[in-house]
């Protein structure tokens, strides 16, 4: 098989989960096409599918007639698609939809990637063509937003609202912290705020799905997460009953209704993007980027791979009108001043370029091991779409990953005095 000419067919088959039908259409009309027209028909089929339009003889005719790339062979193509394949497609439209919903996938993404790899083709370029299903747009124009009319996803928290106002659909909020400074706890706390009003997809590259749910239950019940995960025998009967009730409630309200979708087996941005397009969530949280598989084109080089991940992620959330949250790890190492800044990200250039906002998390207790700092959490706003940066303090209760606005004035003053003293840079 010639991958350069036929990879669209492979990907069409995967996305539709019913290979015989779309494949036959493409094969039928392929001989009538000039160089480069295959991609144009692929684009048409993908647009119809992603937009939720019925794929039939009329819709394909209309799309082809307005596509300048296919005009030179329009008559032959239109003649061809009226033959058997389109009849088969119409006959099986409902089966395609059912197969898609039930995830009865004929070709898995891994098989497609393997097939392309075996033919020494650039898998990232091919899969990206699938994801970028709309016409190319001027990237600079895409970045021009009227801040007053942005479609915001609001925070149900006063401090976050004052700092960020909200998440912007089609944009990325990047959140960074050193190891053990609460990246995952903070992202799950954000998730708990969002699912009250929005559909959220949570991509956990580090924790298993069960662990994510256990931490969410700990947050909801305010029962120590360590006991729930590792010390179940230490739970009281009352705590066990509370946990069971919360699990049932959580399952009914969020899991079964698909207001919350958790993935723990997606490590490739291509796989993640396909799931985003399929589910169309309001918010996508990825925890965390440096643990993801680097795109093949980067040859395992993180400095090249992370920008590619960001680029695909941003284009994908734009297509489904979702907001993105990208969690990343910081590396401060032996610097005297332990408070983070945006340059502490691995490949900070990508975080600067593709993020509308950057929020850095700092738990001074972890850096300075002072007991009085145990519950103090600093949010450092290091890049803003509004051009204003700064920081705010919150209270963290690490035992169950709760963040709130209840630091006492004395605690705030203590930390501020330390900041300007020689004891804390």
Cβ atoms of 60 and 79 within 8 Å: the answer is: no
Clarify whether residues 291 and 371 are in a common domain.
yes
Domain range holding 11? 3-131
In-domain check, residue 141: no
Q: What is the mean pLDDT of residues 249-255?
A: 93
Q: Average the pLDDT over each of 54-63, 173-182, 272-281 and give the range with the smallest value.
A: 54-63
Quote the pTM value.
0.65
In-domain check, residue 87: yes
Clarify whether residues 85 and 170 are in a common domain.
no
Q: What is the mean pLDDT of residues 74-83?
A: 51
Clarify whether residues 307 and 399 are in a common domain.
yes
In-domain check, residue 140: no
Between residues 47 and 366, which one has the greater pLDDT? 366
Domain boundary among the residues 97, 131, 165 is at 131
Clarify whether residues 92 and 188 are in a common domain.
no
Q: What tens digit of pLDDT does each residue of 232-244 get?
A: 889 999 999 999 9
Q: What tens digit of pLDDT does each residue of 306-357 get?
A: 999 999 999 999 999 999 999 999 988 777 778 899 999 988 899 999 999 9
Clarify whether residues 210 and 313 are in a common domain.
yes
Residue 383 above 70 pLDDT? Answer: yes
Domain boundary among the residues 131, 160, 182 is at 131
Between residues 48 and 120, which one has the greater pLDDT? 48
pLDDT value for 13: 44
Clarify whether residues 22 and 86 are in a common domain.
yes
Q: What tens digit of pLDDT does each residue of 2-12 get?
A: 333 344 444 44
Clarify whether residues 231 and 366 are in a common domain.
yes
Q: What tens digit of pLDDT does each residue of 125-171 get?
A: 444 443 343 233 333 333 333 433 356 788 778 778 777 778 989 99
């Amino acid at each position: 098989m010639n991958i350069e000419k036929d990879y669209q067919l492979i990907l069409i088959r995967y996305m539709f989960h019913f290979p015989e039908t779309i494949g036959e259409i493409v094969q039928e009309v392929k001989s009538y096409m000039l160089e480069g027209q295959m991609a144009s028909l692929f684009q048409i089929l993908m647009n119809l599918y992603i937009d939720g339009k019925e794929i039939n003889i009329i819709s394909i005719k209309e799309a082809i007639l307005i596509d300048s790339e296919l005009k030179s062979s329009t008559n032959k193509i239109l003649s061809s698609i009226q033959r058997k394949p389109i009849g088969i497609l119409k006959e099986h439209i409902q089966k395609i939809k059912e197969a898609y919903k039930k995830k009865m996938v004929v070709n898995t993404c891994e098989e497609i990637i393997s097939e392309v790899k075996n033919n020494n083709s650039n898998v990232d370029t091919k899969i990206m063509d699938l994801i970028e299903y709309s016409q190319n747009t001027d990237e600079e124009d895409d970045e021009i937003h009227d801040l007053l009319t942005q479609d915001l996803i609001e925070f149900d928290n006063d401090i976050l609202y004052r700092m960020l106002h909200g998440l912007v659909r089609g944009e990325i909020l990047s959140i960074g912290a050193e190891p053990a400074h609460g990246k995952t706890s903070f992202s799950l706390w954000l998730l708990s705020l969002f699912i009250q009003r929005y559909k959220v997809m949570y991509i956990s590259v580090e924790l298993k799905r069960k662990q994510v749910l256990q931490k969410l239950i700990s947050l909801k019940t305010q029962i120590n997460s360590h006991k729930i995960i590792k010390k179940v025998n230490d739970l009281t009967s009352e705590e066990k009953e509370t946990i069971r009730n919360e699990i049932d409630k959580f399952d009914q309200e969020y899991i079964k209704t698909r207001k919350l979708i958790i993935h723990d087996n997606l490590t490739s941005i291509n796989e993640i993007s396909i799931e985003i397009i399929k589910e169309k969530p309001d918010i996508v949280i990825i925890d965390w980027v440096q643990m993801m598989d680097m795109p093949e084109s980067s040859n395992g080089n993180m400095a090249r791979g992370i920008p590619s991940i960001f680029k695909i992620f941003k284009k994908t959330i734009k297509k489904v009108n979702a907001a993105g949250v990208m969690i990343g790890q910081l590396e401060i190492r032996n610097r005297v001043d332990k408070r983070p800044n945006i340059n502490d990200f691995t490949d900070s250039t990508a975080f600067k370029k593709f993020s509308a906002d950057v929020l850095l998390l700092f738990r001074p207790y972890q850096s300075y091991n002072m007991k009085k700092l145990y519950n103090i959490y600093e949010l450092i706003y290091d890049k803003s779409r509004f051009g204003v940066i700064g920081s705010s303090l919150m209270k963290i209760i690490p035992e169950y990953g709760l963040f709130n606005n209840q630091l006492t004035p004395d605690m705030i003053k203590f930390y501020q005095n330390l900041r300007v003293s020689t004891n804390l840079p």
